[in-house]
Structure 1
Amino acid sequence: MKEPILVVEDDVMIRNLITIYLNKNGYDVLEAEDGERAKELFLKHHPCLIVLDLMLPKISGEVFCKWVRKDMNNNDVSIIMLSAKSQIGDKINGLQIGADNYITKPFNPDELVAHVEAMLRRTGMMCQKITYDGLCIMPRKREVLLYDKSIHLTKHEFELLYLLMSHPNTVFTRERLVNELYAYDEQDILDRTIDAHIKKLREKIEAVPSKPRRIRTIRGMGYKFVN
């Protein structure tokens, strides 16, 4: 199931267009026509990504964005701003107050969907709680529970576990894991780095790390999470 997306746009035709294209690509969409309604939906549903118009009634897009980032102290949700304001200063301001991306109107809806998917690949795909046999990962909280006991993971360990649990019984080569998880890291990531993270994960989530039941090694290929 793909992540819920909040679309905040007062122009009903534009809002409907965005919703249609996102629905067509398998996303659940929450719709808000103004900033106040956007706050209500955000608090109730905790969307992973927000498509946000700037010129909104009641509460502006700028104010709403600042509220999400500062008052709610939320940096997990991705924000794509949509605006008719096309000056470079407007774009810089939007990014400085908390947007992850800035798209000017008029826009191509297929391009917007591509931006959404790219954003979720990099920072999202982290809304759904996943539970298998006592192991529970809650991406938005960055928390992992093993039989209701909290397990501390490093950033890389967490992202690796989430990727594997999100694709149960799928074999990931070391090269694919490097490309999926560390493409934006400055340091060189080697196969042995992946092996080290797997080893640490097993020590934390496996009853017998030397005989792993959850994260299996597929000889000559890579690793998979067995549900």
Structure 2
Amino acid sequence: MITNLIGKSVLVVEDNDKIRHLVGLYLKKEGYEVLEAKDGFEAKRMIEQYDPCILLLDLVLPKISGEEICVWLRNDLKSQMPIIMLTAKASEKERIHGFKLGADDYIVKPFSPGELMVRIEAVLRRTASRCNKISFSGLTIKPLKGEVKINGELLDLTNFEYRLLHVLMQHPDQILTRSQILSYIYENNEKTVTDRTIDVHIKNLREKLKKKTKTEYVETVRGMGYKFVGNQNYINYF
């Protein structure tokens, strides 16, 4: 698993169900959050709602073409969202045209999943500053903006709840004791709450999350502490 990319969201836009599913499985294996769209209309909706870290875009799509999506992203939204085009069009002229539309990379079908993963990682390294966020199962936190969203909707949290969630999401599927959580939140040991106060904040955080979704993100591990359940299953939001 590419640990420095855990929680990075990828939108796969591909009308071929088999290819879309296969790409999603490999992305999941490498720790990415996967979103899907099978046509250009769904792709636009997913982009506006979830703002993924990177877009894997087939050029030949129903309803709205991949080329139109590129133009819309770059010209209308003024977005620098990285785009890797997936296409059967292999000529030099067509590749140059893709780059002119705003693609960051271009991979020709059929392609190996291994090569695709390497290309995704390379593009994300170059554009890391754009996607400073962590996403799991529809829950996204953006540290630079100080905001949390569930399925695209803003979640109103107190400052402590926000920092608590951030710590947990940075350590998915790891059990953190109350003392560990406090040490992450108060790096200079300037603690203003006791260990047991964590329980109250966890309870409030859970209640706010449950109002937006049925997903149980925070798990209590009896006698040990708490764990953020970073569900790495293949995510399909439709």
Q: Give the TM-score normalised by structure 1.
A: 0.57
CA offset at residue 46 of structure 1? 0.3
Work out the percentage of aligned pairs sharing the same amino acid.
Answer: 46
SS in 1 for 2:64: coil
Q: Counterpart of 2:144?
A: 137
1:33 to 34, 38, 44: 38
Residue 113, structure 1, aligned to residue 140, structure 2: no
Distance, in Å, in 2 between the alignment partners of 1:115 and 1:65 is 19
Structure 1 segment 53-68 matched on structure 2, within 5 A: 53-68=58-73
Distance, in Å, in 1 between the alignment partners of 2:86 and 2:128 is 19
Distance, in Å, in 1 between the alignment partners of 2:88 and 2:144 is 39
Q: Counterpart of 2:15?
A: 10
Q: Counterpart of 1:95?
A: 99
Distance, in Å, in 1 between the alignment partners of 2:128 and 2:116 is 16
Deviations 1:181-201 (A, max 9, x none): xxxxxxxxxxxxxxxxxxxxx
Preserved contact between residue 127 and residue 139 of structure 1 (Cα < 8 Å): no
Partner amino acid, structure 2, of 1:41: M
Structure 1 segment 144-183 matched on structure 2, within 5 A: none
CA offset at residue 137 of structure 1? 1.8
Deviations 1:50-105 (A, max 9, x none): 00000000000000011111110101x11000110000000000000110000011
Partner amino acid, structure 1, of 2:29: K
Unaligned runs of 5+ in 2: 1-5, 135-142, 148-158, 160-169, 171-187, 189-238
Preserved contact between residue 132 and residue 144 of structure 2 (Cα < 8 Å): no
Unaligned runs of 5+ in 1: 130-135, 141-147, 149-166, 168-212, 214-227
Q: Counterpart of 1:80?
A: 84
Aligned residues: 142
Distance, in Å, in 2 between the alignment partners of 1:21 and 1:45 is 21
Q: Which structure exhibits the higher relative contact order, with contacts defined as CA atoms closer than 8 Å and separated by 6 or more residues?
A: 2
CA offset at residue 118 of structure 1? 1.0
Residue 44, structure 1, aligned to residue 49, structure 2: yes
Q: Give the TM-score normalised by structure 2.
A: 0.54
1:69 to 59, 68, 74: 74
Distance, in Å, in 1 between the alignment partners of 2:87 and 2:124 is 21
Preserved contact between residue 78 and residue 124 of structure 1 (Cα < 8 Å): no
Q: Counterpart of 2:137?
A: none
SS in 1 for 2:35: strand
Partner amino acid, structure 1, of 2:104: D
SS in 2 for 1:103: strand
CA offset at residue 139 of structure 1? 9.7
CA offset at residue 138 of structure 1? 3.2
Deviations 1:117-170 (A, max 9, x none): 1111111362417xxxxxx52399xxxxxxx9xxxxxxxxxxxxxxxxxx9xxx
